[in-house]
Amino acid sequence: MLIDYAERNSANIIDNPLWIMTLRIIIRGLCEADRAILYAYESRWKGVWMISYSLHLSNKKHALNTVKKVSTASKHNMRQFKSEDYCKDNIIVIRGSDNILEDVKKKYHEEFDEALVKYNEGKRSDRKIQDYLKYVSESGKNDVAAEIIIQLGDEEFWHDKSMNLQRKMVPILEEQVRHLEELVPDFKIVSAVVHLDEHSPHAHIIGVPIGRGYKRGMEKQAAKTKVFTQDTLKTLQDQMHKHAERDMEAHPEIFEGESLKEIEQGRNSDWSKEFYITGSYCRLKAEKSTGKKIEY
């Protein structure tokens, strides 16, 4: 019946992305013959089935605005809760160590110690900042760090791809990290971790955004809202999207015949909420396998 409907309404289906996504989900449950027929439509649906690219800056409840939030992100990114099907080979650290909070502390000393000494000169002891990281974490004025999540291809693209093919995304995501550093030099990356154990390969990138030239307080400060404004984030997404297109062209073994979906203007990301649900799912699996409640 589904095949008959597709035959009779192929023109409407081609123009309806919702139908395309519905069929793509249903197709998994079809018999081999019906599946072959629906796949035959794929060449007519080019331009509708397109690969998404997501660059998401964590905000609101996912913002790294305290030391505790950084520690929580470290637990997720480094898989410090481990389920029975945990495999360290599917967690690839391409920047930093296995302790992201310590990486952030080190970067704070590198970037802010000189400005802190200058700020404290001549001040009464009760007005001095003793620990700038602690000060930022407790003040609530700035985020301690920022996290960017990059994904090329969503679950629908990757669901039938082999793990060997997914592993080929590691150098591509590493290249994306290098592009990010070049485009946002004041975002000092301390950690980049690739996850291959969820629905699609993606990278978690944590860094310290730096602002300079302040007249009040320290001359140099943690400054997420100054580094990542609405305008700079839009420009960043546009440039990174172009790099993603070139990466796809350079890797036909993964993306041959595929097109990249145009960026959706006005949005921080086209990443669905499913991503965050996945993190909870992994934690629940770990709790079930260990029998212990995991604080996360």
The average confidence (pLDDT) of the chain is 80
Is the pLDDT at 176 greater than 50? The verdict is yes
pLDDT for residue 287:
52
Per the model's pLDDT, the better-predicted residue between 159 and 285 turns out to be 159
Q: Using alpha carbons only, what angle is made at residue 156 by residues 151 and 157, rounded to the nearest 5 degrees?
A: 65
245-281 residue pLDDT tens? 999 999 999 998 888 988 765 544 433 334 433 444 4
48-91 residue pLDDT tens? 468 899 999 999 889 999 999 999 999 889 887 666 656 778 89
- pLDDT band of residue 27 (cuts 50, 70, 90) is low
- pLDDT band of residue 45 (cuts 50, 70, 90) is very low
